[in-house]
Amino acid sequence: MSTRGQFNTKSPTIKRILKEASELASNASPDFHAEPLEDDLFEWHFTIKGPPEPSPYHTGIYHGRIVLPAQYPLRPPAFRFLTPSGRFEVNREICLSISGHHEETWQPAWGIRTAMVAIRSFMDTDAKGQLGGIECSPEIRTRMAGESVSFKCAVCAKSNAQIMKEREEAAALQEAKAGKKKEESVPEELRLAYRDELAESSASWPQHPEKPDQSTKVPSSTDSASQNDQAERPAAPEAPAAPISASTSSPLPTRTLPPQPPIVVQANAGPPLAWVDACIYGVLAALLFMVIRKVF
């Protein structure tokens, strides 16, 4: 790339990006391709084939953008589709377990290749209200898949069909030299994270119970009569102090308690106070002093 010398190659982020770009170029896949732009290592463009049959995307080839954060790979990239697919909105960040909307599920060990395999696999799942996801009929998705092949990116200056043809030829050449490669699959932990994400998205949608809600049930004539009878009856006491006979119609007599004697509070109740003794001793001492004074 013509601009690699403009970046600090000692930076761990730059080293990681250059390593992934080199690995994707030297180990071509017939199903997807991704590479950074000539003037920006942090913006990539990708091209992927749709999932295989019976998926409505199986004839499609889709193009999009990847924006890497400055803290990559500690933080996940952001993905946008530029080709209409009927599964993801065009030019809007998609919400997946590998994207910037779910940093808690991202693992630095994953990379662009892992993301491409995951996106291709997750395309054939329901959107369920995810950010950037849309729902369309299989007929519309099949039509968009056929139209996507001729899509041409203004930046890449190649159509989707041309890009994937080059990748298929490169992959076939490498396979002839080194043998057939092991089929790539989505890591199990990423698949589980995406499954939990779909469960949370579906839980946020309003649920429609199979049985009608009793609070919205239209009352029948029998129910209405029963409700009227209950309205005419007096309400029963919630917590009666004693059982009340059904034959008693008069109000309960009020119980009269006998007058209680007043409670007298004795101020000096309890043990004698020390100050009383002190006063007595003081008076005796004063009398004794007066007697002695008269005598002498």
Q: Is 95 a catalytic residue?
A: yes
pTM above 0.85, yes or no: no
- C-alpha 67: how far from chain center: 23
Separation of alpha carbons 108 and 189, rounded Å: 13
> Does residue 267 lie within any of the structural domains?
no
Cβ proximity of 200 and 104 under 8 Å = no
Query: CA triplet 128, 133, 135: central angle to 5 degrees?
Result: 65
Residues 10, 3, 81, CA angle at the centre, nearest 5°?
A: 100
Counting every residue written for the chain, the total comes to 296
What is the mean pLDDT of the segment spanning 176-194?
69
Structural domain includes residue 11: yes
Which among 95, 136, 153, 279 is annotated as catalytic?
95
Query: Any idea what the CATH number is for the domain that residue 148 is in?
Result: 3.10.110.10
Its domain, for residue 186, covers 4-162+179-204
Determine, yes or no, domain membership for 242: no
Residue 48 belongs to some domain of the structure:
yes
Residue 55 lies in a domain: yes
Task: Let me know if residue 144 belongs to a domain.
Answer: yes
* 94 belongs to a structural domain: yes
> If you average pLDDT over residues 150-168, what whole number do you get?
95
Pairing of strands 40-49, 78-81: unpaired
Rounded to the nearest angstrom, the gap between the alpha carbon of residue 253 and the centroid of all alpha carbons in its chain is: 63
Residue 53: both structure tokens together: 């049959």
> What is the rounded distance in angstroms from the CA atom of residue 226 to the CA atom of residue 254?
36
Q: State the total domains in the chain.
A: 1
Tell whether the model's pLDDT for residue 49 goes beyond 90.
yes
Task: State the Cα–Cα distance between residues 97 and 262, nearest whole angstrom.
Answer: 79
Task: For residue range 62-91, list pLDDT tens digits in order.
Answer: 999 999 999 999 999 999 999 999 999 999
Residues 199-252 pLDDT 10s:
555 454 334 333 334 433 434 444 444 444 444 444 444 444 444 443 444 444
Residue 169 in any domain: the answer is no
